[in-house]
Amino acid sequence: MQTNRVKFTNQQGQQLKGLLELPINQHPHNFVLFAHCFTCTKNLLAVKNIARGLTANGFGVLRFDFTGLGESEGEFADTNFSGNVEDVIAAANFLDATYKAPSLLVGHSLGGAAVLQAAAKLDFVTAVATIGAPSHPEHVKHLFKSNLEEIKRNGKAVVNLSGRDFTITRQFVKDLEQNAAKENIQDLRKALLVLHSPQDTIVGIQNAEEIYTAAHHPKSFISLDGADHLLSDKEDATYVGNVIANWATRYVTIKAETPLKSKQEVIASLDSDASFTTQMKVGDHLMVADEPVSFGGQNFGPSPYELVSAGLSACTAMTVQMYAKRKNWPLENIEVHTTYNKQHAVDCEHCEEPTAKIDTFHRFIKFTGNLDQKQIARMLEIADKCPVHKTLHSQTQVITEFLD
């Protein structure tokens, strides 16, 4: 997963900061905007793990801090739920202007209530997923119910939430009360996935029922049985990311890849706009080859010479292990580390000339097992006899023909 720091401005001119996470082996086919839970930040462990599940399935994910939280500007005491909705819209418009508009919104807890409202105002969003979301924003009042009288009397109160102090104002409470949730959900008209744990003690499971009942089809519900509200178990959060990613593929547009077909063992296909990112079919296996970013590539896959080195390493390991088994030698494991470069030939007569350099594969072999020195020496000899090694040392020919 590749992570980039980003920043954008909300409607009040405050700078909000986020992290844009991208798949490691491809350009994102779609972008996701993630809204975190009440008083949380983009760095909540559950948010990170959900994002990893999404990026592993080809999505790009923007997770950001709401106004007054984490690294974003502003004072939390001056914010409210309506401001959170505006922040979601600002983040979505930032993605639209800078990368690609998000087709999927994901919200956790109160962030789920925020994306339900924001999605109705964003035409490019086609799907929404909520995780442990309240059916009405006002639900979060129970977190500071013991301070409500003080808030009403003094206009504000310092409330301790999860070990941190936050100033909750009268206007914050009033804004929660005035935001109608049911009507917004009924007007959503976008694909909806509701995820909720029956054991959620912060936002009860009845909230999921109310959201699901109010929404129009297509809608789905996934029970996160055994999970807590914050998805503190890594397995729960990763599961959520994978489930959302697979569910969303029915409702977002993913460009279909033309299947690679060939009568030959290997085919490589490169579009003119793909830089060096080359789609490959190697036997029955699909893979990607690329060049490093420093060379103008995207680093989505191994380079051609890395693939050759990989072939030499794999063939060496297979050949030596097969020989050891035949001899009943206790070779528990073999590691073959290979690098490629061009070096001057040993004892060359014109080493100062660039053409005097030859292709060089430097191979390091590690054996694990109760082996004596004679066995080790013999297996190093066998390593030089692996088929790929012999091919690299022998005279070869490449016959090129035009394929119509």
Contact call for residues 131 and 240 (beta carbons, < 8 A): yes
How far is the C-alpha of 211 from the C-alpha of 220, rounded, in Å?
A: 11
Instruction: Write out 336-391 in H/E/C secondary structure.
Output: EEEEEEEEECCCCCCCCCHHHEEEEEEEEEEEECCCCHHHHHHHHHHHCCCHHHHH
The sign of the dihedral angle between the CA atoms of 128, 131, 134, 137 is negative
User: Are 37 and 131 in the same domain?
Assistant: yes
Q: Are 138 and 161 in contact (CB under 8 A)?
A: no
Residue 274 has φ and ψ, to the nearest 5°, of: -105, 15
Residue 404 lies in a domain: no
Q: Do 234 and 310 have their domain in common?
A: no
Q: For residue 274, is it within any domain?
A: no
- What pLDDT is attached to residue 289? 95
Domain count, the chain: 2
Residue with the two structure tokens 């070869």: 396
Same domain, 198 and 82: yes
Alpha carbons within 13 A on the beta-carbon side of 117: 24
Where are the alpha helices (H) located in 56-126, listed in sequence order? 81-98, 110-119
User: Which is nearest to 58 in space by CA: 230, 252, 200, 348?
Assistant: 252
Judge whether 328 and 306 are in contact, CB under 8 Å. no
Q: Give the model's pLDDT for residue 179.
A: 85
Q: Within a 13 Å sphere around the CA of 364, how many CA atoms are in the beta-carbon half?
A: 4
The per-residue pLDDT for range 273-293, each reduced to its tens digit, is 889 999 999 999 999 999 999
**So what's the pLDDT on residue 134?**
93
Which CATH number characterizes residue 389's domain? Answer: 3.30.300.20
Q: Quote the Cα angle for 28-32-37, to 5°.
A: 145
Shared domain for 188 and 39, answered yes or no, is yes
Per-10-residue mean pLDDT for the chain, 404 residues long? 92 97 93 96 96 96 97 95 97 97 97 95 97 92 86 89 85 88 84 98 95 96 97 97 97 88 92 90 93 91 95 97 97 96 60 68 96 97 96 91 89
pTM for this structure? 0.79
What six digits make up the tokens of 191?
A: 């694909």
What was the pLDDT predicted at 353? 62
125 and 206 in a single domain? The answer is yes
Query: Kind and range of the H or E element at 218?
Result: none
Does 292 fall in a domain? no
Q: Find out whether 111 and 42 touch, Cβ atoms under 8 Å.
A: no
Task: Report yes or no: 285 and 301 within 8 Å, Cβ to Cβ.
Answer: no
Do 12 and 133 share a domain, yes or no?
A: yes
Tokens of 384: 């030089």
| Residue closest to 119 by CA, chosen among 254, 215, 40 | 215
The type of residue at 278 is T
Measure the CA–CA gap between 59 and 243, rounded to whole angstroms.
13
Contact yes or no for 228/197 (Cβ under 8 A): yes
Examine the domain organization and report whether 308 and 224 are in the same domain.
no
Instruction: Tell me whether residue 311 is in a domain.
Output: yes
In a domain, 51, yes or no: yes
Cα(377)–Cα(366) distance, integer angstroms: 12
Amino acid letter at 112? Answer: G
Would you say 236 and 199 are in contact if contact means Cβ atoms under 8 Å apart? no
The predicted structure's pLDDT at residue 163: 77
Q: Do residues 128 and 213 both lie within one domain?
A: yes
The closest of 158, 152, 61 to 107, measured between CA atoms, is 61
Does 213 share its domain with 323?
no
**Which domain does 81 fall in, by range?**
2-140+180-248
34 domain residue, yes or no = yes
Within-domain flag for 294: no
**Is 154 inside a domain boundary?**
no
Question: The domain spanning residue 64 has which CATH number?
Answer: 3.40.50.1820
Q: Do 240 and 384 fall within a single domain?
A: no
| Contact (CB, 8 A) for 59 and 35 | no
**Residue 51 vs residues 198, 223, 254, 339: alpha-carbon distances, Å:** 23, 19, 18, 33
CA distances, 14 to each of 20, 66, 71, 74, 96 (Å): 19, 10, 11, 6, 19
